[in-house]
Chains A and B, each alone.
Chain A
Amino acid sequence: MKQRLLASLMLTMGLSLLYLGIFDKQLGELWKLVKVVSETCIAGIP
């Protein structure tokens, strides 16, 4: 019961983080970052 409650709380937390990310238009930022990093770094070395 306690575990279920904690799991539900964490699920709510995860969904809130996702909402914050989408509200912050972070997917677009992430996409731009991925493109830039892929094109300009050498396997993680900027």
Chain B
Amino acid sequence: MLQKTPQPRHRIWWVRKIAQTISTAIFLGASFGIVRTAFTLPILLTFGHNDKTVVAAFDAIQELFAEPILPWIPLASFVLFGILVGRATCGWICPFGFLQDVIGEVNAKRREVSPRTHGGSLKVKYAILGMTLFVSGSLGLSLICGVGKEYKAALGVLARGPFSVLSPEATLLGLVPMLARMTFLHFLGVPPTANPLSWDIVWSRLNSMTWLLAMRLMILVFVMVLSFLVMRAWCRYLCPAGAFLSVFSRFSFLGLKRNLLKCNRCGDCVKVCPMLVRITEQPWEKMTDPECIMCLECADACGLRAIRPTFP
């Protein structure tokens, strides 16, 4: 029987953490002189963050449909990234994914959900994706046909982004820092010259939408608590951008290969997988599970070096 060989722990883990830190700093770093671009990536990064340097494809789809413009580039971003690297953007560069990792790793005694609950909950993100695309798509098409003005008015704040207005990521990276900054400036008596919105305008708008503000904060708290208890809970069960990517990632060129001569089916890879992918039950020659975020924790954990990324 093959014996496990000693291996440096967390080798790929460190590389991934550095990549996540650098990408988050670059994506949110316009204040530090990083150039703002319209480069569209399939990650979660709210339009409401003033210091962003790239565009989040899922937010762009919703915003463009509301204009109405058919969102070719954001759709291309999902298809191309999904086909080329699967959900690796979730595991390696998404700022909200990074936050999920950090919160999950703080809690050493995190729980694991039962396979039945896990299997059922996986479908929730597809439902969120379907609802968002249905509302945004139907609005966009009706506006293009010239019959959607009443529909847009009826949707109200949901018209520009049925998902974005409730997204915990937008609340955390957009609303909370903005409120903190405005409050700080207000109590210091400094006029917020850098932002065209004054405290009074912000306060009156938020007061007129107290229900929305309360709901957003509740969703944020719920997601944070869930992420503390269950590793990558948002990415596993709720993220519509991840769901959209996974439609294409099952055909991805990038995948994982398990060497059958080395693998003794010890299950170490399954235990460390943050997305609960049952790696030992996947095809050994190439695994492209729609839930796999290519974090390579399994490759790190395998003492026999049986798991390796493969392309194409």
Contacts and interface: CB of A to CB of B under 8 A. Distances in A.
Given A42-B175, A44-B174, A18 B80 contact: yes
B69 A20 contact: no
Contact of B38 (A11, A20, A31): A31
A17 to B, nearest CB: 4
Contacts of A10: 79, 82-83, 248, 251
Dominant secondary structure of chain A at its interface with chain B: helix
Given A26-B72, A31-B38, A43-B178, A7 B47 contact: no
30 contacts: A10-B79, A10-B82, A14-B76, A17-B76, A20-B72, A20-B76, A21-B76, A22-B73, A26-B72, A30-B60, A33-B67, A34-B38, A34-B52, A34-B55, A38-B48, A38-B50, A38-B52, A42-B202, A43-B46, A43-B170, A43-B171, A43-B174, A43-B175, A43-B178, A44-B47, A44-B59, A45-B48, A45-B175, A45-B209, A46-B157
Given A6-B251, A44-B170, 17 more contacts: A10-B83, A10-B248, A18-B73, A22-B73, A24-B72, A29-B69, A30-B40, A30-B55, A33-B64, A34-B36, A37-B48, A40-B196, A41-B47, A41-B160, A42-B174, A44-B160, A45-B48
Cβ-closest 8 pairs across A and B: A43-B174, A14-B79, A43-B48, A21-B72, A21-B73, A43-B175, A17-B76, A18-B76
Interface of B: 36, 38, 40, 46-50, 52, 55, 59-60, 63-64, 67, 69-76, 79-80, 82-84, 157, 160-161, 164-165, 167, 170-171, 173-175, 178, 196-197, 202, 205-206, 209, 212, 248, 251-253, 288, 312
